[in-house]
Structure 1
Amino acid sequence: MARPKPWDVDDELWAVVEPLLPKVERRVRHPGRKRHPDRLVFQGILFVLHTGIAWEHLPQELGFGSGMTCWRRLAAWTEAGVWPRLHQVLLARLRSADALDFSWTAVDGSPIRAPKGGHKTGRSPVDRGRTGSKHHLITDATGIPLAATLTGGNRNDVTQLIPLLQAVPPVRGKRGRPRRRPDIVLGDRGYDHDKYRRLVWALGVKPVIARRGTEHGSGLGTQRWVVERAFAHLHWSRRLRIRWEIRDDIHEAFLTLGCALICWRRLTNL
């Protein structure tokens, strides 16, 4: 049996995605050209996400519609808040299946190039001052992405510690209140700042952060590797390795969609 392509959308995934999409009623008078099916357009968006291909080079023979159709639909769905809701729904399913571990979380940042510039870019200190952005990620204890943010490549990781914790959505899936705050957050030496430790404590979370100037071997690496693995899974999608979008909201849409797809793959493997 042929292995499904990363951009294939099976019935189970589509049953999760379709209810989240805004409904567009076709006009009775002057209806114009028939709207391309949302499912095929969604597959076209996934094709661009995974291959990194330019929108104008999207293969017409695959039936996804034109690159411009897919881009417009992505922009409209982004404005409607589809991707954060999809991520939240999948997180709730994982928690319902006891596959989400809030006992501790890990945070990290990963720089990427942004050749076309745009909002949330900056001169990257790790790439000879070239224009870049940075992905910031927080995962649960098993490596499931809970939230991600985008900044300029010149932003320090520690500045996103509080925004990442605040970006974790309320996750349902169990009786009682939704879970939002982890018990512990782990960070490397880039997050070593007493001011931010106090802010983390104020959120009811215990910070476990390596100290600068101390010898390596703190032991955090035996747990923090899950966030590095999550970055590897995210950047397996070529559209997230290099930021080609001038509009930051479109790149953030790809970033959130990438997090949601990691959740979906984990669900299908349970």
Structure 2
Amino acid sequence: MAPLLPGVDGRGRPWRDHRQVINGLLWRLRTGAPWRDLPERYGPWQTAYERFARWEAGLLEQAQVRDDSVGAVEWTVSVDSTISRAHQHAAGARKKGRRPGDELEDPERATAGQALGRSRGGLTTKVHLACDGRGLPLAVVVTPGNVNDSTVFDDVMDAVKVSRGGAGRPRRRPDAVIPDKAYSSRAIRQALRRRRIRAVIPERADQKANRVRRGQTGGRPPAFDRELYKARNVVERCFNRLKQFRAIATRFDKLATRYKAGVHLASLILWLREPAQDCLSDRA
């Protein structure tokens, strides 16, 4: 991780030891403890919190650029979502711009603005993920837990962006996309076709029955590569690895941006645990 961190340029106050702060961030991500309970050996909790908010997205992007520059990223992308229960401490964030004395806002709107959805089981947050063929996260989108997967598919695909190591536009177009039946819709298939992306989406039983019922007017069944679809399990394994961090398995953060930052940091750890050179040697 050291090459990805900012160095000393001689201006301003010196950085607190990066190793100390990073260890504190990982301790909090693993335990899910409140920021104020960060042990003293990791330095002031305010410093860790500020670095956490500043670094998370940029470091993950640099790790992706590093792997893509040597051809280690596998562009058969799997898409899925998972739900994380929200702790009671995650609720109650103020809406931006509200001042003391203002009228209380609609609690449902307040929670939705912080990616919290109310269902029978309580407040939940849904993490939508696109990962490459190795099971490493490429894009993360967080929404309230009661949001339908298919309505966020375009946002997830738009978030897939890996910058080039040198000149050139970032790569946004995978070779193939493998979602599950929840994403089986005409709109999603047409969107992938317009972007010249191969869609590997199984047809739902009700869609198949409706097409058969209509006879010749129902059209042909959509193309489906059953063998390639078997590779979709990498996204499920990725969720399992991310949820080994307690701060991801259960949401404790009030702000959606901070919870998403935690997912980015956990994703960065997964990328750094699988060096690009090892992937290439294994493939050879």
The TM-score with structure 2 as length reference comes to 0.75
Aligned match of 2:12 in 22, 25, 29?
A: 25
Residues 107-256 of structure 1: pairs in structure 2 closer than 5 A: 107-115=79-87, 116-117=90-91, 118=111, 119-124=114-119, 128-173=120-165, 178-213=170-205, 218-219=226-227, 222-256=230-264
Q: Rg bigger for which structure?
A: 2
Unaligned runs of 5+ in 2: 92-110, 210-224, 279-284
Q: CA separation in 2, counterparts of 1:232 and 1:209?
A: 22
Spell out, residue by residue over 1:165-193, the C-alpha distance to the aligned partner (whole angstroms, 9 max, x if none): 11012332488654321021111111011
Q: Match of 2:36?
A: 56
Q: Match of 1:264?
A: 272
SS of equivalent residue, structure 1 residue 113? strand
The structure with the largest helix share of the pair is 2
Q: Match of 2:282?
A: none
Q: CA separation in 1, counterparts of 2:4 and 2:77?
A: 26
Q: Match of 1:10?
A: none
The offset of 1:39, in angstroms, is: 3.6
Q: Match of 2:63?
A: 90
- Given the superposition, is the C-alpha separation of residues 47 and 177 from structure 1 closer, same or farther in structure 2, using an over 3 Å criterion? same
Number of residue-to-residue matches in the alignment = 238
Q: Match of 1:66?
A: 44
SS of equivalent residue, structure 2 residue 174? coil
Percent identity among equivalent residues? Answer: 31
The offset of 1:236, in angstroms, is: 1.1
The offset of 1:110, in angstroms, is: 0.2
Letter in 1 for 2:65: A
Spell out, residue by residue over 1:62-85, the C-alpha distance to the aligned partner (whole angstroms, 9 max, x if none): x2113333223323x1xxxx3222
Contact 1:109 1:136 in 2 (8 A): yes
The yes-or-no answer on 1:47 pairing with 2:31 is no
Contact 2:242 2:248 in 1 (8 A): yes
Spell out, residue by residue over 1:137-182, the C-alpha distance to the aligned partner (whole angstroms, 9 max, x if none): 1011121211111000001111221111110123324886543210
The offset of 1:195, in angstroms, is: 1.3
Spell out, residue by residue over 1:220-269, the C-alpha distance to the aligned partner (whole angstroms, 9 max, x if none): 65210011111111111111001110111111111111112111111177
- Given the superposition, is the C-alpha separation of residues 56 and 177 from structure 1 closer, same or farther in structure 2, using an over 3 Å criterion? closer
The TM-score with structure 1 as length reference comes to 0.79
Superposition CA RMSD, Å? 2.7
Contact 1:162 1:200 in 2 (8 A): no
- Given the superposition, is the C-alpha separation of residues 261 and 22 from structure 1 closer, same or farther in structure 2, using an over 3 Å criterion? farther
